[in-house]
Chains A and B, each alone.
Chain A
Amino acid sequence: GEDVEQSLFLSVREGDSSVINCTYTDSSSTYLYWYKQEPGAGLQLLTYIFSNMDMKQDQRLTVLLNKKDKHLSLRIADTQTGDSAIYFCAESDALRSYNTDKLIFGTGTRLQVFP
């Protein structure tokens, strides 16, 4: 079945690293994504990782994928107050269903960065 879970809240001090975790249930997921939602705005794609990769780094962002445990994480280095937002992980079932590539989103993790 399709289920993506995240912890609801994370609070970190400015300058520290943040690690947001996500677990998913479907091992056939091909792409996994991280989106950011700021207050009053839509979701913005931060990064994605293909399922045959273990890690992807993009500036301050590092994505780790453990396929065996179906665990995805997003690490934000040197977290800033501007990083305060809700972070969603999502999986694509593009190979599971030929006709669609809909994304299944997690519940979202609210990251609060304090000075």
Chain B
Amino acid sequence: DSGVTQTPKHLITATGQRVTLRCSPRSGDLSVYWYQQSLDQGLQFLIQYYNGEERAKGNILERFSAQQFPDLHSELNLSSLELGDSALYFCASSGGRGAYNGYTFGSGTRLTVV
């Protein structure tokens, strides 16, 4: 157990639907990062939050949004889902700036859009 908890582990949904992925960071970590891993595009950075505030945005679609709550857990909302959104979505956490210890990753949520 890495200390980063992601739920659900698996999600199957239809095109056009909306889903919410949840992440609880490791205790004491203030930063949460979301990554998308697909077969053809590797690991793509989506967004980072630090202590409730957005810090960096990557290749995140406008249909996707995220937030970090006061208790530091984070949610990634995916709407108007398309087949191409099927992927593994990872959450990671770190202590904040100076990630020289790297991130701690959760085990991911596998999203299948049918």
Contact = CB atoms under 8 A, between A and B. Distances in A.
A42 B107 contact: yes
A99 B56 contact: yes
Contacts of A30: 100
Interface of A: 30-31, 33, 35, 40-45, 48, 50, 88, 90, 92, 94, 97, 99-108
Given A40-B107, A100-B48, 16 more contacts: A30-B100, A35-B105, A41-B107, A41-B108, A42-B90, A43-B43, A43-B105, A45-B103, A94-B98, A97-B56, A101-B97, A102-B45, A103-B33, A105-B35, A105-B42, A106-B42
Interface of B: 2, 4, 31, 33, 35, 42-43, 45, 48, 50, 55-56, 58, 90, 92, 94, 96-108
The 6 closest A-B pairs by CB, nearest first: A100-B56, A42-B105, A45-B102, A105-B43, A101-B99, A107-B42
A42 B56 contact: no
Contacts of A103: 33, 45, 99, 102-103
Contact of B31 (A43, A45, A101, A108): A101
A33 B102 contact: yes
Contact of A104 (B45, B101, B104): B45
A90 B33 CA distance: 14
Contacts of A108: 42-43
Given A42-B2, A42-B90, A106-B42, A101 B98 contact: yes
A94 to B, nearest CB: 6
The listed residue with most B CB atoms (<10 A of its CB), out of A31, A33, A100, A106, is: A100
